[in-house]
Amino acid sequence: MSQGHSSSSTFAVVSEVSTPGRARSPVAWRQWLLAAIISVVLVGLLLTQVEDWRDTIEALQQIRPVALGLALLGYVALSLIRSGRFLLLLPRRSAPFGALWHITCMHTLANYILPARTGELTYIALLRARGVSVADGLASLALARLLDLAALAVLVLGAVALAAERQMYFGALRWFALALGVILLLVLFWADRLAGVMVRALAWAAGRLGVRQWGVVHRGLAGAERTAGALGAFAHSRELYAITLALSLLQWAVNFAVYYALLNGLGLGLDLSGTVIASSIASLVAVLPVQGLIGFGTYEAGWTVGLVPLGVARSTAIATGFSIHILMLLLSVLLVGLSLCSAWLIRLGAARGGV
């Protein structure tokens, strides 16, 4: 199946996954409306704390091309690491690495644009367009997100330790990161058992309500059972667990390197430890299920919370948050462009080779 067909099939599959009937369409509109309200409120509040809203434009105009180029290289490396991890988390021969890289690039951009984390559905949709079951796609995505959060929790603990060296106090964050890390590691360790318990609970509830034989419910339970089975396959492979967790840690390390290049390219002059502290806090805010429209408002608030304790002026921190957000959107668009160009070149080469 061609990349173009996969991309065009996304909307149909997303509709099937998220909006199986016309009754669901108002929910999507409410999500967009809620995201817009959150953005308007938060952006409005943040702009009241900025000395001059043109600071963001000036910062973007002054960014060093070398820093932007390094950030793009790091972002490409980040997408390749994510694709490799998805390749390991999916059943064998589900999709070739090149197709997974294209899906990862599209999925990353969708997560920035779509509200309430609904961009996650594009990963499942694009895999479905290539013949991968929803259960396998959902299981691999769920494991990837748990691995992300577990790795981030470990890195946040490291950031808190760095903050202690800077005579900064994040007592609540320290306990939150410790609790989050322990809980997520336990969830990963017993993912298959927890999934099995949830499937049995859902089946029991459906039976008690007398709806188990309904077509939608029956298909939903079957999909949940297949997802639990995929989680079980992962849980019984400790080597796979170790490799994917290591890739998750590497992913965050590369992500921090991208932020380091951008922050210093904007002239902030933040050192590596400060970058880890600020971006860890901003990333914790970014994973919240309630987000502004295209992330505006919540993303900038996260960077402000992360930068101000480091001694960055509030107005500068807010302007930096807007700048980083815009640059990350630009990098995501460029990444999708690279993946589309590579797919076109591969098809062109195959066509010439067949002549």
- Map tokens 């108002």 to a residue: 26
pTM over 0.85: no
Which residue reads 């994040």 in tokens?
170
The pLDDT value recorded for residue 355 is 52
Q: By three-state DSSP, how is residue 145 classified?
A: helix
Nearest to 87, CA basis, from 44, 130, 55? 130
- Alpha carbons within 13 angstroms on the beta-carbon side of residue 207 total 6
- What is the widest separation between alpha-carbon atoms in the chain? 68
Question: What are the helix (H) ranges across the chain?
Answer: 3-8, 10-18, 25-47, 55-62, 65-89, 97-113, 121-129, 134-165, 171-189, 191-209, 215-235, 238-265, 272-286, 298-307, 314-354
Structure tokens at 245: 């967790």
Q: If DSSP codes are grouped into helix, strand and coil, which group holds residue 313?
A: coil
Least Cα distance to 149 among 349, 286, 19 occurs for 286
The low-confidence residues of the chain, meaning pLDDT below 70, are 1-32, 34-35, 52-53, 116, 156-157, 159-182, 184-185, 188-189, 191-192, 230-236, 286-290, 292, 350, 353-355
For the chain, the domains span 3-354
Q: Could you report the per-residue pLDDT of 7-49, keeping only the tens digit for each?
A: 343 434 444 444 444 444 444 666 667 667 777 777 777 777 7
What is the predicted pLDDT for the residue at 6?
Answer: 40
Q: How many helices (H) and strands (E) does the chain have?
A: 15, 0
Only one residue has tokens 């029956």, namely 218
